[in-house]
Structure 1
Amino acid sequence: MTTFRIGSGAGYSGDRIDPAQELAERGGLDALVFECLAERTIALAQLRRLRDPGQGYDLLLEERMRAVLPACVRQGTTLLTNMGAANPLAAGQAVLQVARELGLARLRVAVVTGDDVLPWMLANDVPLLDGGQSVRSLDGRLVSANAYLGADALLPALSAGADVVITGRVADPALFLAPLMHHFGWQASDWQRMGQGILVGHLLECAAQVSGGYIADPGYFDVPDLAEVGFPLVEVESDGSAVITKLPGTGGRVDRLTSTAQLLYELEDPARYLQPDVVADFSAVRFQELGPDRVQIGGANGHARPARLKVTLGYRDGFIGEGQISYAGPGARARGELALGVLGRRLQRLGLGALEHRCELIGVNAMHGPKLGADREPYEVRVRLAVRCVTQAQAERVGQEVEALYLNGPAGGGGVTQSVREVIAAASALIPRDAVQTHCQILEFTK
Structure 2
Amino acid sequence: MRHIRIGSGAGYSGDRIEPAVELADKGDIDYLVFECLGERTVALAQQARMKDPDGGYDPLLEDRFRAVLPICAARGIKLVTNMGAANPLAAAQKTAQIARSLGLALKVAAVIGDDVFEACQHSELPFMEIDGTLQQLGNRVLSANAYLGAAPMAQALREGADVVITGRASDPALFLAPMIHAFDWAMDDWNLLGQGTVAGHLLECAGQITGGYFADPGVKDVPGLARLGFPIGEVGEDGSLVITKVEGSGGRVTAATCKEQLLYEVHDPRRYIQPD
Partner residue, 1:39: 39
Q: Which has the higher contact order (CA 8 A, sep 6+)?
A: 2
For 2:119 and 2:167, locate their aligned partners in 1 and report how far apart those are by CA, in whole Å.
Answer: 17
Partner residue, 1:92: 92
Partner residue, 1:254: 253
Partner residue, 1:24: 24
Partner residue, 1:224: 223
Report deviation, 1:28.
1.3
Partner residue, 1:75: 75
Partner residue, 1:14: 14
Task: Give the RMSD, CA atoms, in angstroms.
Answer: 1.0
User: What letter matches 1:43 in structure 2?
Assistant: A
Report deviation, 1:35.
0.4
Partner residue, 1:413: none
**Relative to total residues, which structure has the larger strand share, 1 or 2?**
1
User: What letter matches 1:16 in structure 2?
Assistant: R
User: What letter matches 2:170 in structure 1?
Assistant: A
Q: What SS class does the counterpart of residue 265 from structure 1 fall into?
A: helix
Partner residue, 1:150: 149
Partner residue, 2:263: 264
User: What letter matches 1:66 in structure 2?
Assistant: R
Report deviation, 1:133.
1.4
Going from structure 1 to structure 2, the CA distance change for 1:4 and 1:272 (only over 3 Å counts) comes to farther
**Do the aligned partners of 2:6 and 2:33 also contact (CA within 8 Å) in 1?**
yes
User: What letter matches 1:151 in structure 2?
Assistant: A
Report deviation, 1:177.
0.4
For 1:31 and 1:171, locate their aligned partners in 2 and report how far apart those are by CA, in whole Å.
Answer: 18
Report deviation, 1:158.
1.0
Q: What SS class does the counterpart of residue 144 from structure 2 fall into?
A: strand
For 2:124 and 2:28, locate their aligned partners in 1 and report how far apart those are by CA, in whole Å.
Answer: 48
Which structure has the larger Rg over C-alpha atoms? 1
For 2:269 and 2:245, locate their aligned partners in 1 and report how far apart those are by CA, in whole Å.
Answer: 25
Q: What SS class does the counterpart of residue 126 from structure 1 fall into?
A: coil
For 2:136 and 2:74, locate their aligned partners in 1 and report how far apart those are by CA, in whole Å.
Answer: 51
Can you give the 5+ residue segments of structure 1 that lack an aligned partner in the other structure? Answer: 278-447
The 5-angstrom pairing of residues 170-181 of structure 1 reads 170-181=169-180
Report deviation, 1:27.
1.2
**Do the aligned partners of 2:45 and 2:57 also contact (CA within 8 Å) in 1?**
yes
For 1:251 and 1:18, locate their aligned partners in 2 and report how far apart those are by CA, in whole Å.
Answer: 12
User: What letter matches 1:169 in structure 2?
Assistant: R
The 5-angstrom pairing of residues 152-301 of structure 1 reads 152-277=151-276
Can you give the 5+ residue segments of structure 2 that lack an aligned partner in the other structure? Answer: none
Q: CA offsets, 1:266-317, max 9 Å, x none?
A: 432134421100xxxxxxxxxxxxxxxxxxxxxxxxxxxxxxxxxxxxxxxx
TM-score by length of 1: 0.61
User: What letter matches 2:66 in structure 1?
Assistant: R
For 1:267 and 1:30, locate their aligned partners in 2 and report how far apart those are by CA, in whole Å.
Answer: 26
Going from structure 1 to structure 2, the CA distance change for 1:158 and 1:183 (only over 3 Å counts) comes to same
Runs of 4+ off more than 2 Å? 270-273
For 2:262 and 2:35, locate their aligned partners in 1 and report how far apart those are by CA, in whole Å.
Answer: 17
**Do the aligned partners of 2:122 and 2:134 also contact (CA within 8 Å) in 1?**
no
Q: What SS class does the counterpart of residue 242 from structure 2 fall into?
A: strand
Q: CA offsets, 1:318-364, max 9 Å, x none?
A: xxxxxxxxxxxxxxxxxxxxxxxxxxxxxxxxxxxxxxxxxxxxxxx
Q: CA offsets, 1:45-83, max 9 Å, x none?
A: 011111111110000000000111011111111100000
For 1:133 and 1:239, locate their aligned partners in 2 and report how far apart those are by CA, in whole Å.
Answer: 45
Report deviation, 1:92.
0.5
For 1:272 and 1:69, locate their aligned partners in 2 and report how far apart those are by CA, in whole Å.
Answer: 39
For 1:58 and 1:200, locate their aligned partners in 2 and report how far apart those are by CA, in whole Å.
Answer: 24
Q: What SS class does the counterpart of residue 264 from structure 1 fall into?
A: helix
TM-score by length of 2: 0.98
Partner residue, 1:322: none
Number of equivalences: 276
